[in-house]
A and B are shown apart, each in its own frame.
Chain A
């Protein structure tokens, strides 16, 4: 799924490049969101059984 979503992001960038490159802020937000998404995907691929937020909350709120 990681590869599919990454390819979709690249495809979306190529398809909408005129709108994205038209304004600097669009490009910045697109890169920021894509980087965040890809980073989350990499983390999930490396640590698929990483404790979730709920698990961490349960552990520290007891």
Chain B
């Protein structure tokens, strides 16, 4: 059977769409929550991310060829499945609107401070429509193609920044800071938990899930944790935790001070571009997920016809959610972080428990 999307592509996509959170939100959140010890927080997050990968693998293995909606219907019945899908739909709309908002705010903060956010959003709408018109596979292929050069670029940045690391910004880390460091890992857990989207595309992987594919899921999570740790370490080591907590995009400020043998500089433009690409792909994926949720909720088979009205809703939702960077930070910390933990961890763990309890297995007939 020809697979529309493979687990490998999904993992590339996962790394790619978390890049903007890794570079933009996580260092800021960790510096604010855990001060100097914040760079250790990504390591604690493995305690939540690895079990989540286990849950995803368990569900994919128990219900090969089925997506999360079909698994829910099988485990909880049609009514509860639709209630959960409605909740996921609203949550996806919220995070998509927030992502569009932070994308335009980041561009205003970094490259084009005098340009109105409407313009950035209109450009993004055109890009997303163009990409999705080519099909979801094109979007996944794009992430597969572009992730390698981006990781290489980030590696070069770290090599350049290595001599600028200040040990007094990173050490000593006292044991008294351990609880705040563990609590701060909540933001890493919430960003990394987006791997749950793998279940929404689970019907596209085919019915056979090999051991190699399972390993890829774990490697993707370990890569996410490693990248988060390294980015945070360098941000704190170069800029300092105190300064990192004062800027909404501390990694951007860190990269401003980096040069390649005093010849090449201004790498921050590339960082802003990476974040823009990451936001673009996450908006594409979230848009597809919203349309899929609408299709499942109303049993509509041709959900793509709702793309334009959904775009209009998301466009105006961005204004209704937050309008400034301070408001975005507030709603991210108070509402979205906690909702993410519910939708990315509580519900899938509940489904896994039901799956283990029922003991029944189902395979989609092809």
Interface hits, A44-62 → B, CB 8 Å: 44, 50, 52-55, 57-58, 61
The minimal Cβ–Cβ distance linking B314 to chain A, given in whole angstroms, is: 9
Show the binding face of A for B, using Cβ within 8 Å: 1, 4-6, 8-9, 11-12, 16, 19-20, 23, 25-26, 29-30, 33-34, 36-38, 40-41, 43-44, 50, 52-55, 57-58, 61
A53: chain B residues at CB < 8 Å are: 320-322, 331
Cβ-based interface call for B83 (8 A): no
Q: Is the CB of B312 within 8 A of A20?
A: no
Residues of chain A lying within 8 A (CB to CB) of residue B122: 1, 4
- Residues of chain A contacted by B269 (CB below 8 angstroms): none
Which B residues are CB-close (under 8 A) to A25?
A: 298-300
Q: A1-B118, A9-B309, A34-B309 are in contact. Are A40 and B317 (CB under 8 A)?
A: yes
The reply to whether B309 and A33 form a contact with Cβ atoms under 8 Å apart is yes
Choose among B309, B313, B320, B328 the residue that contacts A30 (Cβ–Cβ < 8 A): B309
Q: How many residues of B contact A (CB 8 A)?
A: 32
Asked whether, in the complex, the Cβ of B312 is within 8 Å of the Cβ of A54, the reply is no
Interface of A is mostly: helix
Minimal Cβ-Cβ distance residue in B for A4: B122
Query: What are 23 A-B pairs with beta-carbon distances under 8 A?
Result: A1-B118, A5-B315, A8-B308, A8-B311, A9-B308, A12-B308, A26-B300, A30-B306, A33-B306, A33-B313, A37-B312, A37-B316, A40-B312, A41-B312, A41-B316, A52-B319, A52-B322, A52-B323, A52-B327, A53-B321, A53-B331, A54-B321, A55-B322
Tell me whether A40 and B320 are in contact (CB under 8 A). Answer: yes
- Answer whether A5 and B312 are a contact pair too, CB < 8 Å, given A44-B319, A58-B330: yes
B residues near A34, Cβ cutoff 8 Å: 309, 312
Pick from B311, B320, B330: contact of A5, CB under 8 Å: B311
A45: nearest residue on chain B (CB-CB)? B316
B335 sits at the interface (CB 8 A): yes
User: With the chains together, A4 CA to B313 CA distance in Å?
Assistant: 13
Bound complex: CA A52 to CA B101 (Å): 12
Q: Are B321 and A29 in contact (CB under 8 A)?
A: no
Smallest CB separation, A58 vs chain B (Å): 6
A44 CA to B321 CA, complexed, in Å: 12
